């Protein structure tokens, strides 16, 4: 009976953003190493090698450079996409109506586009802060925290600079949201329909792991281009196409550079986000009227 009560809990619109921020605190070092591998121009390095290099250069806390920007990004980007997806979904499934997969994909794409736009300023600061230790000391931006970074970008580079790469960020957000939110919902419902799963942690772990795999496959090419554009010197890339052409010079696999660390980061982040979200919903959500 206790399990049945938990399944009737309905989450608040901001639960997804809070869960994503909590997950970001756990996976930030992996995100940082992914950015370093994508922007690395020297000899080929693996995830462990890059991790050792960061620790030697800036100490163990170097793995948490840009954490405040990462949390801010989740509280803008993820909170927006989860809020739109969950709020609209509740309206669409009233009277026990089921949502077909194409509606989930369409809704997730729209929510992702909105979240990507809202989260672009924090994403820009996040990439810069994570990559700062790779620059020569004289060229480092040395943002104190995310708010300081946003202030300095807006004041010295202009408000529009804060939205640099917004098109790419929104495109990526569409793909990752379709993979994560729509994928999680669809896989979760399919597994429940088999009769071998109940709405518990085993279901949440399985569904979120598969959703993380889908999101990584969909987003990796765009993620590589977004990171390159945000970290490039002004005027280096004049369009998304010029960035794509530059990456393509190294072959098609250039678009999947850092794929393994991307999955290693996005997979755990997706799993932790949905595990946290389900626990927050079950413990702090409101009782459903349905």
Q: Which domain CATH number covers 255?
A: 1.50.40.10
Tell me whether residue 105 is in a domain: yes
Token pair, residue 271, equals 């799993």
Tell me whether residue 290 is in a domain: no
Tell me whether residue 209 is in a domain: yes
> Chain centroid to CA 261: how far?
14
Tell me whether residue 3 is in a domain: no
Tens place of pLDDT per residue across the chain (290 aa): 344 444 467 888 999 999 999 999 999 888 888 777 777 777 778 778 888 888 888 888 888 888 999 999 999 999 999 999 999 998 888 877 789 999 999 999 999 999 999 999 999 998 888 878 777 888 888 898 999 999 999 999 999 999 988 887 898 899 999 999 999 999 999 999 999 999 899 999 999 999 998 998 888 887 788 778 777 777 788 887 888 888 888 888 888 777 776 787 789 999 999 999 999 998 888 776 54
Domains of the chain: total: 1
What sign has the CA pseudo-torsion 68, 74, 80, 83?
Answer: negative
| CA-to-CA dists, residue 88 to 10, 58, 91, 107, 138, angstroms | 14, 45, 5, 8, 48
Tell me whether residue 224 is in a domain: yes
Looking at residue 179, its pLDDT comes to 95
Expressed as residue numbers, the domain containing 32 is: 9-285
Tell me whether residue 1 is in a domain: no
Tell me whether residue 2 is in a domain: no
């Amino acid at each position: 009976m206790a399990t049945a009560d938990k399944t009737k809990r309905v989450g608040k619109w901001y639960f997804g953003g809070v869960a994503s921020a909590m997950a970001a605190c756990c996976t930030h070092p992996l995100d940082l190493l992914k950015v370093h591998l994508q922007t690395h121009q020297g000899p080929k390095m693996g995830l462990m090698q890059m991790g050792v290099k960061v620790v030697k250069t800036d100490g163990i806390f170097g793995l948490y450079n840009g954490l405040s920007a990462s949390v801010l990004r989740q509280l803008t980007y993820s909170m927006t996409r989860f809020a739109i997806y969950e709020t609209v979904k509740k309206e669409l499934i009233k009277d026990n109506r089921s949502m077909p997969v194409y509606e989930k994909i369409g809704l997730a794409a729209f929510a992702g586009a909105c979240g990507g736009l809202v989260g672009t300023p924090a994403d820009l600061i996040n990439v810069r802060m994570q990559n700062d230790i790779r620059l020569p000391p004289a060229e480092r931006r040395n943002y104190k925290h995310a708010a300081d970074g946003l202030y300095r970008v807006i004041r010295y580079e202009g408000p529009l600079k804060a939205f640099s790469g917004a098109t790419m960020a929104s495109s990526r957000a569409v793909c990752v949201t379709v993979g994560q939110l729509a994928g999680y919902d669809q896989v979760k419902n399919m597994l429940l329909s088999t009769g071998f799963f109940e709405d518990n942690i085993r279901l949440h772990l399985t569904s979120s792991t598969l959703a993380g795999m889908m999101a990584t496959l969909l987003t990796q090419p765009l993620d590589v281009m977004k990171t390159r554009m945000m970290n490039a010197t002004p005027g280096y890339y004049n369009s998304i196409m010029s960035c794509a052409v530059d990456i393509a010079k190294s072959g098609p696999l250039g678009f999947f550079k850092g794929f393994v660390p991307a999955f290693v980061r996005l997979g755990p982040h997706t799993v932790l986000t949905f595990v946290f979200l389900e626990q927050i919903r079950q413990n702090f959500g409101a009782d459903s009227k349905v």
